[in-house]
């Protein structure tokens, strides 16, 4: 949390993308009551270049043609409620200024 790329997490409703972990990276969100972490790959698509979620405030949108949108607070789909899967959540534990993210 001390690194500049994580400074947005000091403020409620901000999210940060962490590359090279999980299936498509991990998105960490400051919910105001704690931190949440989600796999950054759309669970309703086979992992590909378009299935990686783009962060837009408290929403994650996949780059595929259907542009599925997910809540970064609940992990549930927002754009198409018929989708079968919500985002994969990771456990987040705060220890001082460090966030420990595990599955």
For the chain, what is the domain count? 1
Each residue of 53-72: b (16+ CB within 10 Å) or e? bebeebbbbbebeeebbbbb
Instruction: Determine the pLDDT at residue 101.
Output: 94
| Parent domain of 25 | 4-102
CATH number of the structural domain spanning residue 90: 2.102.10.10
* Segment 30-83, tens digit of pLDDT: 999 999 999 999 999 999 999 999 999 899 999 999 999 999 999 999 988 789
**Segment 5-32 mean pLDDT:** 93
Q: Is the pLDDT of residue 86 over 90?
A: yes
Q: What is the pLDDT of residues 21-40, one digit of tens each?
A: 988 899 999 999 999 999 99
């Amino acid at each position: 949390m001390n690194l500049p790329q994580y400074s947005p997490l000091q403020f409620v409703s901000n999210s940060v993308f962490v590359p090279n972990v999980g299936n498509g990276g991990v998105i960490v969100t400051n919910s105001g009551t704690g931190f949440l972490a989600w796999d950054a790959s759309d669970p309703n698509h086979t992992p590909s270049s378009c299935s990686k979620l783009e962060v837009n405030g408290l929403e994650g949108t996949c780059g595929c043609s259907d542009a599925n949108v997910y809540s970064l607070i609940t992990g549930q789909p927002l754009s198409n409620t018929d989708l079968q899967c919500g985002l994969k959540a990771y456990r987040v534990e705060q220890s001082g200024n460090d966030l420990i993210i595990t599955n």
